[in-house]
Amino acid sequence: MPATFGIIDLFAGPGGLGEGFASFAPDGHTPFRIGISVEKEASAHRTLTLRAFLREYRARHDRLPDEFIDFHAELIDEPDWSSVDREAWLLATEEARCLELGTEAAAEAIEGAIARLKRQFDDTILIGGPPCQAYSLVGRARSRGKRDYVPEEDERHYLFREYIRVLDRLRPAAFVMENVKGMLSSTVESRLVFEMLMEDLSSLGTGRGHQYELRAIHVEDGTASLREAGESRDFVVRAEEFGVPQRRHRVIIIGIRKDLAAGTENARIDLPASPRTVDEVLGGLPKLRSGLSRGGDSAGRWKEAVAEAAELLAQIHEQDGREKLRKEFHSLVGQFRRAGKLEREASALPTAYAKSNDALMRWIERPELRAIAQHETRGHMASDLGRYLFVSAFGQVHRYSPRAADFPPELYPEHRSWSTGAFNDRFRVQLAHEPSTTITSHISKDGHYFIHPDPAQCRSLTVREAARLQTFPDDYLFLGNRTQQYVQVGNAVPPWLARNIATLLHEVLVPRITE
């Protein structure tokens, strides 16, 4: 019988890492089963629990529940899931736990899960990543602005020790630890956090027979394998190399228990020949307009605002001789004037939905669905619409996102530092022909860094578009308000990347477990 591994997922967020592992099913067998996933943020935990329920329901009935399909399409309010399938819901609530790591309640729940998983499965795997805010360069910069902030006392620096405590108790076949690149340079009391982490991981299990070989994911000649790291940056994984349409670079440390580590270097998986692009995953979605955040919003007012902005930009670029941009803006004036009524949200499935032969699109588009969910735009100030229009048209013409110096003076924001270079990327378009830049939780605050590549839509990305760039399937619903949904998406591990890691670990572990 094929080997099966029980998983503990810590700091799970909405479940991106766990989804990649749990969805991997070679020859119809699911070798990775989530035993417990722990997340303290309430809205992310709701998302995590619903996904656990759907996973259990599908395992029992080989389909999604009708009630979920209707809820997903916004035909009904969220149902009582326990009335849909009581046993599946009980198992889901046992799996997805709203707990804070480091507390007595969390320790007790995890101890119970460890005992249960060791009884039920051939072996176990620990996955997850401690919160990244204290490690990341941006997070540390923001924290320094807080009164009385002392880095050495920031508990987030030490949450990885809770991960290590669970690792020591579980003694799994393997572990996967994910975090931001900033942790490589983060220091506490003049010591590198990453250096301390590696010392703890390397010394784990000394004298007790469960030490770990630490490995980095190595990419070469179109394949990925596990290798020893020569330096800390070897642990940086570039998601775009694994078919994720996003330049997301993260530290991923993989540990293999020493009794299973022989032959690790022989395991490898094939990678895509070329990067996936923004247009490949977003191009088929319904077109939308942004809203106007001030002075009242309507399709008519929006069309007038963007048409006037396009006319102004055409005139500006006629005067400075930039002919390609002038033609683009002149064309856009006509498009806006003639355009039919664009909505701010759309749920109708595209004609060719779920009919692609492409592996990634088959993963994203789910044939059971009746609608696209969470594809709704935000409102923007009229002055920002002109900047969005300029940035997206510039990217379409020049195939790169403009810097502050590329903006015409008429579009300069009223900010004294605009011309200093401090705001070079304040407005950034996601280029259609490339992977996107990193989707971050900051997308919840404004859309300036995440402008849609189509100038005719003149807007920032929707939750669903951000989720697709993160490779979440369309049946993955993010619960909570829209801000919370954006945060969940931005903080997650791309499930398609996680699925690749699961595939690689399967290649490493199964031959050794079944010997």
Domain-embedded: residue 501: yes
Q: Say whether both 509 and 427 belong to one domain.
A: no
Question: With left for phi above 0 and alpha for psi between -120 and 50, is residue 11 left, alpha or beta?
Answer: left
Q: Which residue stretches of the chain have pLDDT < 70?
A: 132-158, 206-209, 416-417, 419-423, 514-515
* Single-letter amino acid, residue 246: Q
Q: Tell me the HSE value of 149 on the side-chain side, using a 13 A CA sphere.
A: 13
> Are β-strands 32-38 and 5-10 bridged in parallel, bridged antiparallel, or unpaired?
parallel
Q: Say whether both 267 and 360 belong to one domain.
A: no
Q: Say whether both 10 and 111 belong to one domain.
A: yes
Q: Is residue 163 within 8 Å of 177, Cβ to Cβ?
A: yes
Distance CA 437, CA 277 (A): 11
Instruction: Give bridge partners of residue 7 from the DSSP assignment.
Output: 34, 125
Q: Say whether both 347 and 368 belong to one domain.
A: yes
The residue range of the domain holding 294 is 278-483
CATH of the domain at 253: 3.40.50.150
The number of distinct structural domains making up the chain is 2
Distance CA 409, CA 386 (A): 12
* Single-letter amino acid, residue 312: L
Q: Which pLDDT does position 123 carry in this prediction?
A: 96
* Single-letter amino acid, residue 418: W
Q: Which two tokens stand for residue 364?
A: 């994203």
Domain-embedded: residue 241: yes
Q: Say whether both 250 and 282 belong to one domain.
A: no
Q: Say whether both 247 and 355 belong to one domain.
A: no
Domain-embedded: residue 74: yes
Q: Say whether both 17 and 30 belong to one domain.
A: yes
- Cite the beta strand spans of 57-122 per DSSP E: 96-97
Q: Is residue 508 within 8 Å of 75, Cβ to Cβ?
A: no
Domain-embedded: residue 488: no
Sign for the CA dihedral angle at 65, 245, 460, 344 comes to: negative
Q: Say whether both 311 and 342 belong to one domain.
A: yes
Predicted TM-score of the model (pTM) = 0.93
Q: Is residue 431 within 8 Å of 314, Cβ to Cβ?
A: no
Domain-embedded: residue 470: yes
Distance CA 61, CA 55 (A): 10
Q: Is residue 105 within 8 Å of 112, Cβ to Cβ?
A: no
Q: Say whether both 248 and 372 belong to one domain.
A: no
Q: Which pLDDT does position 514 carry in this prediction?
A: 63
Domain-embedded: residue 52: yes
Q: Say whether both 182 and 324 belong to one domain.
A: no
Centre a 10 Å sphere on the Cβ of residue 419 and count the other Cβ atoms it contains.
13
Q: Say whether both 301 and 205 belong to one domain.
A: no
Domain-embedded: residue 293: yes
Distance CA 253, CA 129 (A): 10
Q: Say whether both 223 and 88 belong to one domain.
A: yes
Distance CA 4, CA 30 (A): 7
Domain-embedded: residue 309: yes
